[in-house]
Structure 1
Amino acid sequence: MTEDATDWFHPNPQIQTLRLEHGATCFVIDDVLREPERLRDWAIAQREAFKPVDFNAYPGIYLLPPNALAHAFHAFFLQHMRPHFDARRVLEMQSRLAMVTRPPEQLRPFQWLCHSDQVGVPTAYSIQASVLYLFEDEELGGTSFYAPSRTRQEISDLYHDASNLPATEFTRKRGIPPSYMNGSNAYFTRIGQAPARWNRMIFYDGNILHSGDIHDPRRLSSDPANGRLTFNGFFTCRRHTT
């Protein structure tokens, strides 16, 4: 495996702009990998190496990618995607293969809500996030984006309760049952949706509230051959000066 970006990614990606409400955007690239089967086959061969996520709220398992892919992905972002964001210099890049696997009854209340990747990041920095869908069953779900429909204080109180209350008490107080978020509710409005498609990659500002569309949790699997396998990336960048 080489570290040349074009060994993994198409050298001339067709970048489409998905307009979200409130002026936000998501960038969509279809057929982004030259040989997507190559990466999925590698993940299948490494299925026993996936580990439960224990460093953030992702409800599933993960595996670090081959070093060559990580380097190629970094180069791809610098060449093709960084100009679309308020991103002057990359300070940190993370990437991993991942699969959502937990049934709703095993989720914590904060996993029932949409989330932002910008939490705790200094305002001088921006975060860009990406998802590459590596499954052919589109019913496993893409990604939806959200905006608060309540005041900032109400939303802050909601997340506080989601992080501190037991599940049954959170449901009683907030009226939200154990579930993956699918569409608008009393607190958030869906402002756009990127459907899943084999070998489709999306990029978006990590400050936008978002959530995976898990329509039917019974279809989730820990097997990369038929589960909701994705390749996820995160870039922490210094913003442009004004």
Structure 2
Amino acid sequence: MQPLQLNPNRKTTVIPVQEESAHLLVVDNLLVNPEEIVLFARNTAYMQPAINDGTAYPGIRDRVPTAYEKMMQALVSDLALVSDDQTLSIHRCMLSMVTTPPDQLASTQKIPHIDSIDPYEFASVHYLFDADYGGTNIYRHKQSQKVCIDEAGFGIFQSSLEDVRANPDEFSGYIGDSNRLFECVHHIEAKFNRLVIYKGNMLHSPCIKPNFGFSDDVTKGRLSVASFFRID
């Protein structure tokens, strides 16, 4: 993969999450050359089967080259997310495609999830597809009114998972907008070469539209790069 070039004309939008003292960052027109990632996915990547990466991601994945990590380091620095006395650690950047049909989902994949309970962990999704395949939803747990889940509140997630397992007919696929347990409070529309950054302990889920085909063809599928990093 050739070096990835940040677009000097990219646009950053800050979206407050009023339910929490947090916000989302949306960066449009992120790269000058996003096609480099698509070419890597098409010609070089060896996509691993769902859950082989040790996560509950409902699809296939492969790690992207270090060129992407270097780009993320430059982006986070440019966004001034890291102060002089803080350290940025990029954990991993994963080429990702949702390929698991609704009737094959595990219980953990039917509700919003978090990537970590650590408030210093962050995640991003770089969309390499357009709005037709949906974007990302941020959720609030209705009973507790929480959007961000910390160690003290992790029981919320566990009790919700038990409810899903006990009611398979009610919770039968991807969550969509809302259900009895969770309410969608923010929707980030997908757009080619758009990236969204959010806290890793924020309840979120891919927005999968009803007519989505779950293709594993990178030229037709829901291709993205998910990155995970820590600032402390």
**TM-score, normalised with respect to structure 2:** 0.84
Offset at 1:81? 5.2
Using the aligned pairs only, state the percent identity.
Answer: 28
Offset at 1:92? 4.2
After TM superposition, the structure 1 stretch with the greater mean CA deviation from structure 2, 29-38 or 63-72, is 63-72
Unaligned regions of 5+ residues in structure 1, if any?
none
Which residue is 1:129 aligned to? 123
Which residue is 1:149 aligned to? 142
Which residue is 2:77 aligned to? 78
Q: How many residues in Structure 1 have an aligned counterpart in Structure 2?
A: 219
Q: Provide the secondary structure at the position in 1 that maps to 2:75.
A: helix
Counterparts of 1:225 and 1:237 in 2: how far apart (Å)? 34
- Distance 1:29-1:36 versus aligned 2 partners, 3 A rule: same
Residues 1:13 and 2:7 are matched in the alignment: no
Counterparts of 2:7 and 2:97 in 1: how far apart (Å)? 24
Which residue is 1:204 aligned to? 198
Q: Provide the secondary structure at the position in 1 that maps to 2:143.
A: coil
Offset at 1:210? 0.4
Which residue is 1:101 aligned to? 99
Which residue is 1:158 aligned to? 160
For residues 77-103 of structure 1, give each alpha carbon's deviation from its aligned partner in whole angstroms, at most 9, with x where no partner exists.
2332524x9x93224421011000000
- Distance 1:154-1:29 versus aligned 2 partners, 3 A rule: closer
Q: Provide the secondary structure at the position in 1 that maps to 2:139.
A: strand
Unaligned regions of 5+ residues in structure 2, if any?
145-152
One of 61, 69, 90 as aligned partner of 2:88: 90
Offset at 1:131? 0.5
Counterparts of 1:132 and 1:101 in 2: how far apart (Å)? 17
**TM-score, normalised with respect to structure 1:** 0.81
Counterparts of 2:2 and 2:212 in 1: how far apart (Å)? 38
Q: Provide the secondary structure at the position in 2 that maps to 1:74.
A: helix
Offset at 1:161? 5.1
Amino acid at match of 2:12: I
Contact conserved, 2:137 with 2:188, CA < 8 A, in 1?
Answer: yes
One of 170, 173, 183 as aligned partner of 1:189: 183
- Distance 1:141-1:81 versus aligned 2 partners, 3 A rule: farther
Counterparts of 1:11 and 1:232 in 2: how far apart (Å)? 22
